[in-house]
Structure 1
Amino acid sequence: MTTVLDVQDVTKVYGAGDTAVHALRGIRLTVDEGDYVAIMGASGSGKSTLMNILGCLDVPTGGRYLLDGLDVGALDDRRLAVLRNRRIGFVFQSFNLIPRMSALANVELPLAYGGVKAPERRRRALAALAQVGLADRVGHEPNELSGGQQQRIAVARALVTSPALLLADEPTGNLDTRSTEDVLGVLDRLSADGRTIVLITHEDDVAARAKRVIRLVDGRVVEDRRAAPVAGPPPGPAEAEVRNR
């Protein structure tokens, strides 16, 4: 099985001397292709720092991090930017959609940055929107969509580049119960299709949807366990759409 993430004794220190803050203290973990991992921890546990390193938004102070076989620490800023665009799909708590752009245009953005021609961008963006159950919302702007629909647009945008890793940072943090269930249902189906997902969350019920739960305390991994499977299949896109109408 292919290893997508390989974190080897990673440390992260901010500052120096008496004011140094040790955010990560020798993190070791691997994530294989098709795994669905939830990373949990209280404020100050290091989970946000670890997310930034996994997403190539920051680099370790010590240790090595390999993403899809590439040593992130050996890359310059330009190559890091290319790696982020092509190998990682980001989903953030605040959606980060462009307000005056349609759902389709928002999903096309990573492909536009990557130089993909317009017809191919449209084809791939439409396929990604269909994958999250929003094929009938392609022309809607974010303010015409519910919070759950906006987050599903964000998931489609993260998928459109066919990344090695889907990295979701508190993706249900701004959603109500029904919208949370819709978004988690999409992630369940993506996992069932073989997507590699790393989810950052502080909510036990959200983490329970993952196949594996990693818990951080004071910059160290204190728990790494397989979660019990959730009973019953997740709803399909059509069923999710009926709930939103």
Structure 2
Amino acid sequence: MSAPAPVVQVRGLTKEYGRGDAAVQALRGVDLTVAAGDFVAVMGSSGSGKSTLMNILGCLDTPTSGRYLLDGLDVGGLDEHQLSLVRNRRIGFVFQSFNLIPRTTALANVELPLAYAGVRARERRRRALAALDLVGLSERLHHRPNELSGGQQQRVAVARALVTAPAMLLADEPTGNLDSRSTAEILDIVSRLNASGRTVVVITHEDEVAARAKRVVRLVDGLVAEDRRQDAPWAVTA
């Protein structure tokens, strides 16, 4: 029986902005493989290429050259409509700024990706309730974002990211707008999700966040300068 395909498989990835003398190489030949169930923290200083890599992994941008397979699917030849389907169904995004719809309840925010996917109302409700329960917000279903703390808003965002059962949870500086207590709560949730088998890739500059990961990939000047496994002493077991 063959092993399952990696969730992320990147080979020779480059990204260049501009032309001629003004050209900037954000990525200069990145190779990266993320197996199912892994927890990877991608780190790097400003200008290292980590945001560019995140945008490509999230199918928000395309590389100048190289190949990217997501859950066995080569995304290089997809058109914008196909990429939007991939983003909706195979990637669960968590952003630093939460990106919740202000006038909509927590429940409706979590249901939204399923509505885009054409899931029927009853099934949307069932799956959204389960996702909010998973992040401990069953008692805040009908609260709007301005009625929730920053940590609670990010938990709604995590529930929204999970509700489509994506191949990968992709988080961009998920604790950047949170205080220390809320940061610990979000990291506990993400660690539990990974312990239950979810594949997690986190873009971060915070050592506290990277300490939860099983693996740290560090970018310098558009190249992978370090790729190491680590014991995650603060990881939460299932």
1:135 is the counterpart of 2:134: no
The structure 1 residue matched to 2:12, chosen from 2, 9, 13, is: 9
1:228 is the counterpart of 2:231: yes
User: Structure 1 pair 231/143, CA: closer, same or farther in 2 (3 Å)?
Assistant: closer
Alignment of 1:75-90 (within 5 A): 75-90=78-93
1:91 alignment partner in structure 2:
94
1:216 alignment partner in structure 2:
219
2:112 alignment partner in structure 1:
109
Identity within the alignment, %? 71
1:180 alignment partner in structure 2:
183
**AA matched with 1:24:** L
Structure 1 residue 176: Cα displacement: 0.1
User: Structure 1 pair 87/63, CA: closer, same or farther in 2 (3 Å)?
Assistant: same
Structure 1 residue 105: Cα displacement: 0.3
CA distance in 2, matches of 1:105, 1:36: 29
**AA matched with 2:25:** H
Runs of 4 or more consecutive aligned structure 1 residues displaced over 6 Å after TM superposition = none
Structure 1 residue 229: Cα displacement: 2.0
CA deviations over 1:27-78 (Å, ceiling 9, x no partner): 0010000000000000000000000000000011011000011111110111
Give structure 2 stretches of 5+ with no counterpart: none
2:122 alignment partner in structure 1:
119
User: Structure 1 pair 150/231, CA: closer, same or farther in 2 (3 Å)?
Assistant: closer
CA deviations over 1:145-187 (Å, ceiling 9, x no partner): 1100100000000000000010000000000000000000000
Structure 1 residue 231: Cα displacement: 4.7
Structure 1 residue 227: Cα displacement: 1.9
What SS does the aligned partner of 1:210 have?
A: coil
TM-score, length basis structure 1: 0.94
Give structure 1 stretches of 5+ with no counterpart: 237-245
8 Å Cα contact 2:92-2:164 kept in structure 1: yes
**AA matched with 2:104:** M
What SS does the aligned partner of 1:116 have?
A: coil
CA distance in 2, matches of 1:124, 1:174: 27
Alignment of 1:143-222 (within 5 A): 143-222=146-225
Structure 1 residue 136: Cα displacement: 1.0
**AA matched with 1:176:** D
User: Structure 1 pair 115/233, CA: closer, same or farther in 2 (3 Å)?
Assistant: closer
TM-score, length basis structure 2: 0.97
Structure 1 residue 213: Cα displacement: 0.3
